[in-house]
Copies of this chain bind each other. A is one copy, B any other.
Amino acid sequence: MILAAGEGSRLEQVRNGTPKPALKLLGLSLAERTITNCNAAGIHRFLVVLGHQADQVRAHYQEIASRRDCDIKFVIAEDWKLGNGASALAAADKLDDAPFLLTMSDHLIAPSLIEKILRAHPEQGEICLAVDRDMAGVFDVEDVTKVVTLDGHIVSIGKSLEEWDAADTGVFFCSDALFSGLKRAHEQEKHSLTDGVRDLAEAGKVNAVDVTGEDWIDVDTPEAFGEARRRLLASLTKGNEDGYVSLRLNRPLSTRLSAHLATTRITPNQITVISFLICLTGAGLLSVGMFATGVIGGLLVQAASVIDGCDGEIARLKHLSSPRGAWLDTVLDRYADMAVALAITLAFAAVHPGPLPWIIGFLAAFGFILASYVTKEFGIRTGKPYPNDVLNRLKRRDLRIFIICLGAVVARPFEALMIAGALTHICVIGIFIKGWKRSASPGR
């Protein structure tokens, strides 16, 4: 159940007339981010409570449903202006008996947080609330709803508690009891969700589920919007198996670029192809053999390497990651490597006759592909991916392209190719030895 009835007045200056759930953050609306986060946690059926700009919000969610693997139903809260408790009450008869997740259309919640609370089991008559005990780390501590917990239960809740020990993340795992609490609060003319929860908490019916360390943010002010954007971009550099150049140079540039590209309609696969074409253009210029074209070619090849990071970033930002995209990217990268090695060798061999330049270029190109091949093969033979160790970082594409770019800039592209090739072969041999040691035969 997603509450999407409120007005979001504090975001007026950002949303500019757009209904708050349809407000786009790095290319994806808040509503779609909530849905995809839930999808990732295994939730595919939704009930959305509408209120302010109901028709527009409904249309937006219907568009999401057609794009994402989910089923979205709607209920209109006539009383939405009274408060979000009144909005939630409108859903009282619309849910089946199973426990349900309750969250807000403007909360960005890590899928892992959702998975954590789904592991809790609200007993008959109880609800569970995900709480964050990292009080110093909570964004906009003034505005957050605070709770006091005792023995795993919430004993008091409100925005203005003087003493508190955890923050309300706005993610609930509820039984029907929620609606009883809301109704009792309603009869006392109290219409916020917090009022209903407080009613239940006073009866000891609200369990606190600790989700400290998981990422969540309530996007209800321009500042929170900026913070959410910052966190999304920062998440792109996390967990990547980046090489040295990628980490220091490519990734910082590509995430900046991705932040812009995410707001356009360009797809990750289009970026992959564009990056490939830029690299081919660079290779073409490198094959000419003149200093100026070589510099431009080298810079283009490096630029393509930066842009090549954007496809994956956009895919992650917009929840569009697919095996197909990774497949396209990895195959085109091999062709791009080959083109660059061939182009540089061609230019050098034109002024240095004899087979030697060609043999060297041959070996370098072979090393580049073998470098990708051995780690895949390692994974297949040993059953686990090759680790991101020094050998892996040194043989990655980001570094060899950077070396070649530097070489082109100092008018020594062929020497740079030799260095990159030699480095790659050394790494391949190292990885081979590592694979040999790891896969000791059990028989002898």
Contacts and interface: CB of A to CB of B under 8 A. Distances in A.
B373 A323 contact: no
Given A342-B362, A358-B349, A370 B334 contact: yes
Nearest to A374: B331
Contacts of A373: 334, 369, 372-373, 376
A284 to B, nearest CB: 14
A47 to B, nearest CB: 23
Interface in A378-399: 378-382
A377 B377 contact: no
B342 A346 contact: no
Contacts of A338: 362-363, 366
Given A439-B324, A439-B327, A355 B359 contact: no
Interface string A346-376: 1001100101001101110110011011101
A373 to B, nearest CB: 5
Contacts of A381: 323, 326-327, 330
A263 interface: no
Contacts of A442: 69, 322
A67 interface: yes
Contacts of A410: none
Nearest to A69: B442
A362 B362 CA distance: 6
A435 interface: yes
A379 B380 contact: yes
Contacts of A372: 373
A319 interface: yes
A141 interface: no
A37 B346 CA distance: 57
Nearest to A331: B432
A320 interface: yes
Interface in A410-444: 432, 435-436, 439-444
Given A373-B376, A379-B380, A382-B323, A443 B68 contact: yes
A328 interface: yes
Given A322-B442, A366-B338, A382-B323, A346 B350 contact: no
A8 interface: no
Contacts of A68: 443
Given A361-B362, A365-B366, A443 B377 contact: no
A69 B374 CA distance: 30
B366 A330 contact: no
A322 B376 contact: no
A325 interface: yes
Contacts of A69: 442
A376 B369 contact: no
A305 to B, nearest CB: 19
Contacts of A382: 323
A319 B436 contact: no
Interface centre among A330, A366, A440 (most CB of B within 10 A): A366
Interface in A219-245: none
A151 to B, nearest CB: 43
B439 A320 contact: no
Contacts of A366: 338, 365, 369
Contacts of A365: 362, 365-366
Interface string A300-318: 0000000000000000000
Contacts of A328: 436
A71 to B, nearest CB: 15
A324 B444 CA distance: 11
A46 to B, nearest CB: 17
A355 B361 contact: no
Nearest first, the 5 A-B pairs at minimum CB distance are: A322-B441, A323-B439, A324-B439, A358-B358, A323-B381
6 contacts: A320-B441, A322-B441, A323-B381, A324-B436, A325-B441, A369-B373
Interface of A: 67-69, 267, 319-328, 330-331, 334, 338, 342, 345-346, 349-350, 353, 355, 358-359, 361-363, 365-366, 369-370, 372-374, 376-382, 432, 435-436, 439-444
